[in-house]
């Protein structure tokens, strides 16, 4: 059932935005996904009838909110293939999660002459933190290139890892090329030399199975809003062996054991990262999003996304003026392209007139585009509610644009 999960008409009806905009072809899912009704209702119900701050409140509303908040921490852990909910910290999103690893874990370990390895295809959120960290500590940022097709150069990665490597940080799926990186092979390669691995799962979390216990990554970062949850909530998952090494990032209320005039002692991970008032509504929405994803067959979802991706590439390749960027051996959910002699911003503006939503620009991957000799691209990205009809409409609108421009 690779083309239609559930079926797609049922899926689409679960998302109110398509009722308000029935002609919308939403192809910007790599930037954010839409929210299903179940998520919207869960957040609205909490905000309307259950609102209270968590922890330390000795009244029913607060106790209930605390219980639900911590139950969702457990739900996230199970979603990520482990029973240990203490591996899961709530954050604002992928960017904050990665910065926490850089500043709260690695900054205390890295020394002059050490190195961190990342790749040329990373989102700036998984590139700049390591660039800043290595420059600050007089260490080296080693950048793994890609081959002409957009695949990671695994031989180069292997050659870059040495006794001075302190971390390998890599995305699961490139947010510009859609390349699916062989993260299990990369984890095994790094672990042979006792090097921890951080996975940026922002583009894979909604449709790929991830498991701490099975894959044995060291750090995992993602955002809720790219898996049908609200903005402003994300996850940092940390392997048990590193829990004691992640130090407080922000300090304040809610993450302390004791404060005196002379000193403060902090709670253990994950609570030592959760200073201040939490985004409780966002966490409630994240829990509902996980339940919604759990109602779908993940294999069917993954197959559906792959089918749309392959169909988009094949469809765009039939138009001579359209240039698909890259041809990686595995691509999922994301297709970037250019149109000869037409700037990507003009393309996106024209498509918008036909209610086709795409992203145009550098996609927070300027080093990648520079390496490809490109200033910007158009990006189409897919989710469970998209169909081949969306891609057919994309092609038709692009052909109309090319005709108009000529």
Question: What does the DSSP assignment read for 113-151?
Answer: T-EEEEETT--GGGTHHHHHHHHHTT-EEEEE-B-TTS-
Q: 355 and 224 in one domain?
A: no
Tell me which DSSP letter residue 163 carries.
Answer: T
Q: 261 and 153 in one domain?
A: yes
Q: What is the CATH number of the domain that holds 240?
A: 3.40.640.10
Q: What is the pLDDT of residues 128-174, one digit of tens each?
A: 999 999 999 999 999 999 999 999 999 999 999 999 999 999 999 99
Would you state the pLDDT for residue 220?
Answer: 99
CB atoms within 10 A of CB 396: 12
Q: What is the dihedral of CA 183, 189, 195, 201, to 10 degrees?
A: 0
Question: What does the DSSP assignment read for 205-262?
Answer: TTTS---HHHH--SEEEEEGGGTTS-TT-EEEEE-GGGGGG---SS-STTSEEEE-SS
Indicate whether 210 belongs to any domain: yes
Instruction: Tell the burial category of 296 from Cβ atoms under 10 Å away from its Cβ (0-12, 13-18, 19+).
Output: middle
Q: If we measure between CA atoms, which residue out of 360, 348, 336 comes closest to residue 401?
A: 348
The active-site residue, picked from 52, 296, 319, 364, is 364
Strand-pairing partners, residue 276, are none
Please compute the mean of the pLDDT values over residues 49-53 and round it to a whole number.
Answer: 97
Q: 23 and 89 in one domain?
A: no
Element (H, E) at 266: strand 264-266
Strand-pairing partners, residue 336, are 379
Considering 279, 294, 309, which residue would you say is the last residue of a domain?
294
Q: 258 and 161 in one domain?
A: yes
Indicate whether 3 belongs to any domain: no
Q: 322 and 256 in one domain?
A: no
Considering 226, 259, 294, which residue would you say is the last residue of a domain?
294
Indicate whether 1 belongs to any domain: no
Q: 83 and 17 in one domain?
A: no
CA atoms within 13 A on the CB side of 50: 17
pTM score: 0.96
Indicate whether 35 belongs to any domain: no
Tell me which DSSP letter residue 352 carries.
Answer: H
Instruction: Quote the tokens at residue 382.
Output: 């897919």
Domain that includes residue 288, residue range: 40-294
Instruction: Quote the tokens at residue 401.
Output: 């644009």
- Active-site residue flag, 208: no
Considering 267, 294, 321, which residue would you say is the last residue of a domain?
294
Q: 184 and 116 in one domain?
A: yes
Q: What is the pLDDT of residues 307-352, one digit of tens each?
A: 999 999 999 999 999 999 999 999 999 999 999 999 999 999 999 9
Tell me how many domains the chain contains.
Answer: 2
Residue whose structure tokens are 């180069």: 156
Q: What is the pLDDT of residues 204-228, one digit of tens each?
A: 999 999 999 999 999 999 999 999 9
Cβ atoms of 135 and 144 closer than 8 Å = no
CA distances in angstroms from 161 to 89, 141, 167, 362, 385, listed in the order given: 29, 12, 9, 29, 41
Q: What is the CATH number of the domain that holds 302?
A: 3.90.1150.10
Q: 104 and 58 in one domain?
A: yes
Q: 286 and 304 in one domain?
A: no
CA dist 386 and 311 (Å) reads: 12
């Amino acid at each position: 059932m690779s083309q239609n999960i559930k079926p797609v008409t049922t899926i689409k009806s679960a998302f109110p935005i398509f009722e308000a905009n029935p002609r919308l072809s939403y192809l910007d899912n790599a930037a954010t996904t839409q929210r299903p009704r179940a998520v919207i209702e869960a957040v609205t119900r909490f905000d309307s009838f259950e609102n209270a701050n968590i922890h330390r409140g000795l009244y029913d509303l607060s106790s209930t909110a605390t219980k639900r908040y911590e139950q969702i921490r457990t739900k996230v852990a199970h979603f990520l293939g482990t029973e240990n909910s203490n591996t899961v910290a709530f954050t604002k999103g992928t960017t904050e999660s990665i910065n926490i690893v850089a500043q709260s874990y690695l900054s205390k370990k890295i020394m002059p002459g050490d190195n961190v390895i990342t790749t040329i295809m990373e989102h700036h959120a998984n590139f700049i933190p390591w660039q800043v960290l290595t420059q600050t500590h007089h260490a080296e940022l080693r950048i793994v290139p890609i081959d002409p097709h957009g695949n990671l150069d695994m031989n180069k990665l292997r050659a870059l890892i040495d006794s001075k490597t302190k971390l390998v940080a890599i995305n699961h799926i490139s947010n510009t090329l859609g390349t699916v990186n062989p993260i299990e092979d990369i984890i095994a390669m790094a672990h042979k030399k006792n090097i921890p691995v951080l996975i940026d799962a922002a583009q894979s979390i909604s449709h790929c199975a991830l498991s701490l216990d099975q894959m044995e990554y060291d750090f995992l970062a993602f955002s809720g809003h790219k898996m049908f949850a609200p903005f402003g909530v994300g996850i940092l998952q940390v392997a048990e062996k590193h829990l004691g090494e992640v130090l407080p990032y922000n300090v304040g209320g809610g993450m302390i054991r004791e404060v005196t005039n002379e000193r403060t002692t902090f709670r253990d991970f994950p609570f030592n990262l959760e200073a201040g008032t939490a985004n409780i509504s966002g966490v409630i929405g994240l829990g509902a999003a996980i339940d919604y994803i759990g109602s779908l067959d993940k294999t069917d979802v993954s197959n559906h996304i792959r089918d749309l991706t392959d169909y988009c590439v094949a469809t765009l390749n039939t138009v001579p003026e359209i240039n698909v960027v890259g041809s990686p051996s595995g691509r999922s959910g994301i297709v970037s392209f250019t149109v000869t002699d037409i700037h990507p911003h003009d393309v996106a503006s024209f498509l918008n007139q036909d209610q086709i939503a795409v992203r145009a620009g550098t996609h927070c991957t300027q080093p990648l585009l520079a390496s490809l000799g490109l200033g910007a691209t158009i990006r189409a990205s897919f989710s469970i509610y998209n169909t081949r009809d969306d891609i057919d409409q994309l092609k038709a609108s692009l052909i109309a644009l090319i005709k108009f421009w000529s």
